[in-house]
Structure 1
């Protein structure tokens, strides 16, 4: 069902259901960007559709809704522990097609990667209702078409704003009595081409690629800041922290904190051995995981082609370029054989 309402009517609706639904969307936060006079676009709770950033790509993704950067798993005291409660409201989360596909990638890791789903991830994920935002044109550094993530059918609501009106596609029966308006004929926009294109090899030898000289370029270019991981919709690694009370060392809390495979120490093992010391080896690990390793296990490739890692890298390192270099390397090896 497709309807049209005014922006004011949309605001009235989301405020009338705020006791049951939390509306989360990309918003522009002034003076919080990379430089002092720039903004940052990240996900926050909103009360009006006018707060939502539709025209620009967010710097950070919706994965923070289901994977907080810092999350307390439990509090402990003496012989007892307590799991913290969460907001019981469902979450209407505005996402672009690539980010919806990114959420599916994380679902594989946390819900289907073992005998039991991750309890903390699942209790947040089960509350998410996806509100799809279309893309009228490709953004800078995007290569979603190469990975087939430029479209999706997995959403409860599709939203398009035009000249003061909000066009809504309702796919979830849960919202048919909530969003009521004039019938309308429209389509959510999906991009069909990108300026950046990535071609993956049909078959490769991962050991040959691991020893390729192309990774040595990143030994000096990469500064191991980890910004690529923190902005990525599909990076899901974390570390654990125990925060102990000064007054009573038997009391405290355990936290799950987002981690980065690009930062020194991530691959450090017991005994002090580190399997990836050089920055180029870390870049190789990340690139191959996005374009090969994950796909071998779950089917689709882990990368969704959003280009955010390219956007935020202070050294202008491009993962799309790295992937194409791997393809060129594999082709050259095949020609030699």
Structure 2
């Protein structure tokens, strides 16, 4: 149901919701970038809609709300183990259409890919998602090519126009709170074209797995892993056992983000590593995003947000890589 209300009333509503939910949204962190006077737009807790950066793309994705960078799973001593408590509050997350598709990818990996991940599920079950529309395409986005530019699978859509707020609610809590407000038709903003366009090959021939094409990335990639960490659909992690200094037999086990590009990711006992070459790591990531995942689950893992292109210090373009791979595939066929 669509509503028109005021910014003041909407802020009062979210202040009330904050008793039960932590509200996250892309916000500007002034001077927090790589260089002096460079801002960062990343997710943080908000208390006012004015804090939300609607006009620019976030440098980082929403995923750390559901997949914390470092998450304690349980505590242990030499005699017993205790699972870490779940957060006392739920979460409300503002995100864009492509990220809603990214959420589906996370759900598939953690809820449908074998046993259900209970740590993910307990956060997911208590999180509501509010869509932020895109009036214009951002740099390096190719969501239209991936079919992720428009979504109706949200708990609410909110658009702020000065002191007026338009709401399309799919959440009974908002419907109840907005009873008495002017009702109207609210259609979420979405783009119809991007400057960046990609064409994904239907299948990738086995002969291209060992193609010299990947060597170009081996020479350029510095294995920093930034492309993985900003990606909404990269889900890899490792485990760390932290032992307390006061008692070396007690501690906690943490799940920590990992990256298929970073050194040591494929290391095994005995010193063997499956992908020491950075080109091989690029091949693994690319084919997982546009080939392997679709063969298993029916949709591409990549959502076309373009954050990997935005963040790469070596200016490696994932979009260009896909298009070049598509050209090579046609030549092979």
Shared fold (TM-score greater than 0.5)?
A: yes
TM class, shorter-length: over 0.9
Task: Measure the CA separation in 1 of the matches of 2:36 and 2:55.
Answer: 22
The structure-2 alpha-carbon separation of the partners of 1:50 and 1:197, relative to structure 1 and needing over 3 Å to count, comes to: same
Partner of 1:286: 285
SS of corresponding position for 2:303: coil
Shift of 1:256: 0.4
Partner of 2:75: 75
Shift of 1:179: 2.8
SS of corresponding position for 2:208: helix
Task: Measure the CA separation in 2 of the matches of 1:203 and 1:185.
Answer: 42
Shift of 1:87: 2.5
Task: Measure the CA separation in 2 of the matches of 1:329 and 1:73.
Answer: 44
The superposition leaves residues 93-120 of structure 1 with CA deviations (integer Å, 9 ceiling, x where unpaired) of 1010000000100111100010x21011
Shift of 1:163: 2.3
Number of equivalenced pairs: 332
Partner of 2:113: 113
SS of corresponding position for 2:177: coil
Partner of 2:156: 157
SS of corresponding position for 1:202: coil
The superposition leaves residues 47-86 of structure 1 with CA deviations (integer Å, 9 ceiling, x where unpaired) of 1000011000001111110000000001112211222223
Shift of 1:92: 1.4
Give the TM-score of the pair, scaled to structure 2: 0.97
Q: Which moved more, 1:77-86 or 1:308-317?
A: 77-86
SS of corresponding position for 1:295: helix
Partner of 1:243: 242
Task: Measure the CA separation in 1 of the matches of 2:101 and 2:232.
Answer: 9
Shift of 1:31: 1.4
Which structure 2 segments of 5+ residues have no match? none
Task: Measure the CA separation in 2 of the matches of 1:172 and 1:324.
Answer: 40
- Equivalent residue runs for 1:302-313 within 5 Å: 302-313=301-312
- Equivalent residue runs for 1:30-49 within 5 Å: 30-49=30-49
Task: Let me know the Cα RMSD of the aligned residues.
Answer: 1.1
Q: Which moved more, 1:170-179 or 1:318-327?
A: 170-179
Task: Measure the CA separation in 2 of the matches of 1:10 and 1:175.
Answer: 10
Q: Which moved more, 1:154-163 or 1:306-315?
A: 154-163
Partner of 2:172: 173
Shift of 1:246: 2.0
- Equivalent residue runs for 1:113-262 within 5 Å: 113-114=113-114, 116-180=115-179, 181-205=181-205, 207-262=206-261
Task: Measure the CA separation in 1 of the matches of 2:16 and 2:300.
Answer: 40
SS of corresponding position for 1:214: helix
The superposition leaves residues 180-214 of structure 1 with CA deviations (integer Å, 9 ceiling, x where unpaired) of 42122331101111111110112322x31211111
The superposition leaves residues 111-169 of structure 1 with CA deviations (integer Å, 9 ceiling, x where unpaired) of 0010x210110000111111011000110000011111111111011101112211000
Shift of 1:172: 2.0
Shift of 1:36: 2.5
Task: Measure the CA separation in 1 of the matches of 2:210 and 2:317.
Answer: 20
Are the counterparts in 1 of residues 27 and 41 from structure 2 also a CA contact under 8 Å? yes
